[in-house]
Amino acid sequence: MTTRGQRPDATGAFTGLSAFPLTPLRDDTVDEAAFVGLVERLVAAGPDSITALGSTGSYAYLGREERARVARLAVEQADGVPVFVGVGDLRTSHVLAHVDNAEAAGAAGILLAPMTYQPLTDSDVFELFRTVTEYTELPVIVYDNPGTTHFTFTTDLYARIAELPGIASIKIPGVPTDPVAARARVAGIRAAVGEHVTIGVSGDAVAAAGLNADCDAWYSVIGGTLPSPALTITRAAQEGRGADATAESDRLAPLWDLFAAFGGSLRVVAAIAEHLGLAPRECLPLPVRGLGDPQRAAIAGVVDELGLA
């Protein structure tokens, strides 16, 4: 991970650890106390930014007013830590309404995934980003998350979108586990998008690999609930101690194994938050149900074994 020049109107906020808190629900209503508690916990740990209403924050499931309220709470509680706000929606005009609310909340940037119901073309997605970047002065993180959006970005489309004004960062879905291949992948994206756009890795299991392969940021699921180990990995990579980043990631392998075994990171992180008393039981929006008791027991065992409590 190399220190790089930022776009003039950016602040370096689009580097380092961006922590993605859950938006816990209780009886189908946002549990504001639990959300505030999660954000306070993050602020105390010291991430470089907080991304509210990412996929981990269930943005796609929440209504406009709920999202506006969560954005405001996040900024209010962030104590100066930059807050990015997810604004994705299926319809462009609804995205713009969320942008209005993110601006009103005092967001430092917005995260935009091309959600799909009908499959979208590259032109559709480019025009979506063009419309949003023309609409707002807020910096935009391009959110490439094919596991949820079912839209696949090409590097060429990254490059076209990166030329739009206000594009600050690209959240890529991951990197190859092989270090040489990872470095080549990140270098290829950087050559395409230019130095003014940061590249952030997601997919927590490959975060250390991504940071060691010259990604500028980690958009982190686990960082939103367990910020300490995420910061250990991030700071090690930032300080050139790549082996230490890898060692901490390797130590967390039982956690990554749970993500793989139990259908992805979201339900596991929700179970961890519930186990630690940070969120009420069944905090995800239905129809997304929480894990069963045997899985929860396995998760609690790993949390204890790794000293994450």
Rounded CA-CA distance 16/12 in Å is 9
Is residue 8 part of the contact set for a copy of itself (CB under 8 A)?
no
> With respect to a copy of itself, which residue has the nearer C-beta, 94 or 235?
94
191: which residues sit within 8 A by CB, 6+ positions away? Answer: none
**Single residue of 40, 104, 123, 240 touching a copy of itself by CB under 8 A:** 123
The site string for a copy of itself over 25-54 (x = CB under 8 A, - otherwise) reads: ---x--------------------------
- In the complex with a copy of itself, the residue whose CB is nearer, 205 or 209, is 205
Sequence-distant (6+) residues with CB within 8 A of 216 are 1, 2, 4, 14, 15, 16, 169, 198, 199, 200
Among 39, 68, 75, 115, binds a copy of itself (CB under 8 A): 115
**SS3 state of residue 7:** coil
Question: What is the nearest approach in angstroms of a copy of itself to the Cβ of residue 289?
Answer: 5
Map the footprint of a copy of itself across residues 155-194, applying CB under 8 A: none
Among 51, 55, 169, 212, binds a copy of itself (CB under 8 A): 55
Give the tokens for residue 48. 């470089």
Residue 118 touches a copy of itself, criterion: CB under 8 A: yes
- Taking the complex as a whole, the smallest distance from the CB of residue 48 to a copy of itself amounts, in Å, to 26
Count residues binding a copy of itself (CB under 8 A).
35
Which amino acid does the sequence have at 215? C
Q: What phi and psi values does residue 115 have, to the nearest 5 degrees?
A: -60, 145
Residue 294 sits in the site that holds a copy of itself (CB under 8 A): no
Q: Does 280 bind a copy of itself (CB under 8 A)?
A: no
Q: Determine whether the annotation assigns residue 56 to a binding site.
A: yes
**Complete DSSP assignment for 267-278:** HHHHHHHHHTTS
Contact 84, 264 (CB under 8 A): no
- Given candidates 150, 154, 301, 305, which one binds a copy of itself under the rule CB under 8 A? 150
Determine if 114 is a binding residue for a copy of itself (CB under 8 A).
yes
CB 179 within 8 A of CB 212: yes
Q: Which of 53, 107, 125, 170 binds a copy of itself (CB under 8 A)?
A: 125
H helical segments located in the chain = 32-45, 64-77, 92-105, 122-135, 146-149, 155-162, 179-193, 207-212, 227-238, 242-251, 253-261, 265-275, 293-305
Q: Which residues bind a copy of itself (CB under 8 A)?
A: 28, 55, 60-63, 90-94, 114-115, 117-121, 123-125, 127-128, 131, 147-148, 150, 263-264, 266, 285-289
> Which residues participate in the annotated binding site for pyruvate?
56
> Which residues participate in the annotated binding site?
56
